[in-house]
Amino acid sequence: MGSRWGFLIRFLGAVWLLGLGHCEQQTPETAAQRCFCQVSGYLDDCTCDVETIDKFNNYRLFPRLQRLLESDYFRYYKVNLKRPCPFWNDISQCGRRDCAVKPCQFDEVPDGIKSASYKYSEEANNLSEECEQAEQLGAVDESLSEETQKAVLQWTKHDDSSDNFCEADDIQSPDAEYVDLLLNPERYTGYKGPDAWKIWNVIYEENCFKPQTIKRPLNPLASSQGKSKGLCVEKRAFYRLISGLHASINVHLSARYLLQDTWLEKKWGHNITEFQQRFDGILTEGEGPRRLKNLYFLYLIELKALSKVIPFFERPDFQLFTGNKVQDAENKMLLLEVLHEIKSFPLHFDENSFFAGDKKEANKLKEEFRLHFRNISRIMDCVGCFKCRLWGKLQTQGLGTALKILFSEKLIANMPESGPSFEFHLTRQEIVSLFNAFGRISTSVKELENFRNLLQNIH
């Protein structure tokens, strides 16, 4: 498993070395060209091109994925927004009302979800509430079958194992609350300036193997040159994932910007100026288009992870358990439709050419990736805007889950067709974050089409 992943990372990272290419047009560029002229055609030496991704995402996948994410199973996410920042104490909390998160009342969350943090079969879900109230999850009710007890204990150990890329919240904490993601959408909150820059500065400068080739800092606090010289392609690949995540978040904030705020109403919509400031090739000294290409890079990585994890969700005893049997069955059918649509994508990475290399080196790279990414997930507890913290934690956990899947190919392949899976397991938190995080990236790709159209009308 590790050796095959090592070559995957080297292959993906090699994309960085090939650069962005240049626009062929020598005449003065339009506003759309300055953001998108380099974001077209083939993604360097990948067999996939931007236009194919746009067409597949915007017209085939996006509508179905959004329907799935609106279902009860995926709209409720349990999160602890009160965890202290582990790195510094001087957090300036955002006092704007748009930064606030409204948690769910206890009776608003479906009973099946409240009692189903770890388990999927109806047998396990019926008794999971007692397990969650136990001081340790090992104290499993004896009325569970021996096989299910073993699975619960194995799953609990797995949640703390070295396979996880995120430091997950303690969802048993009294401070952990359910949040309705549909009622707390990701959008511009006004959280900006030194406090926000500090978060991204720490991520890029301390945890992200920042390449020396970056010409302009990604925020005003970042140095203009990367600290490390001669970074290997594996570490550049890691950087591209984080840069793609950052770009995706910036697209969301530009697409759902507070355009008007009066005592009568609030109006949210596309802020073209904000988008240009973040992605215009001239205003960002060439960095903006690269960030957008990194967003597509991230899209392909998470798309690949979802295609690999299909056997886990196809097992007959897996449920999207909320307690409503009819809706749960319908949502599982929709989930499998989405996953098989993803599998049908014509230009996935070539499996036969990706996975090769030295096993020892691959395991070392995996551990480096895991430690750096866990650190980034901890930094999310330092975000001063609670809505930004919510979506930052969800999206980093989603990307971490995607990395966990990519590292677990053999474990997924060896899962039993039915019954508990002891070697590979995803918690409900991981499932919800995985699909919602990909939903955010899918939305970003869709919004890029909208911004292209809007910018074409600017001269």
Active-site annotation, residues = 385, 388
- Secondary structure class of 378 (helix, strand, coil): helix
Question: Smallest Cα–Cα separation from 302: which of 396, 236, 428?
Answer: 396
Question: Smallest Cα–Cα separation from 52: which of 417, 347, 318?
Answer: 347
Token pair for 8: 């995957």
* Half-sphere exposure at residue 251, Cβ-oriented, CA atoms within 13 angstroms: 28
239, 208 Cβ separation under 8 angstroms: yes
**Backbone phi and psi for residue 79, each to the nearest 5 degrees, phi listed first:** -150, 145
**DSSP output for 235-258:** HHHHHHHHHHHHHHHHHHHHHSEE
Question: Smallest Cα–Cα separation from 342: which of 405, 404, 411?
Answer: 405
| Dist. CA 199–CA 178, nearest whole Å | 25
Residue with tokens 């060896």: 414
- Secondary structure class of 144 (helix, strand, coil): coil
Query: Within 10 A of 385 (CB to CB), how many other CB atoms are there?
Result: 25
Q: Which amino acid, 339?
A: L
Query: Which residues are registered as beta bridge partners of 267?
Result: 260
Indicate the annotated binding residues for FAD: 187, 189, 200, 243, 246, 278
**DSSP output for 417-432:** SSS--SS----HHHHH
Name the strand (E) or helix (H) holding 443: helix 428-455
Q: Is 193 exposed, middle or buried (0-12, 13-18, 19+ CB in 10 A)?
A: exposed
359, 2 Cβ separation under 8 angstroms: yes
Q: What is the number of H-type helices and E-type strands within the chain?
A: 19, 4
CA-CA-CA-CA torsion sign (330, 334, 340, 341): positive
**Backbone phi and psi for residue 260, each to the nearest 5 degrees, phi listed first:** -150, 135
**DSSP output for 195-217:** HHHHHHHHHHHHHS---TT--S-
Residue with tokens 């499993």: 140
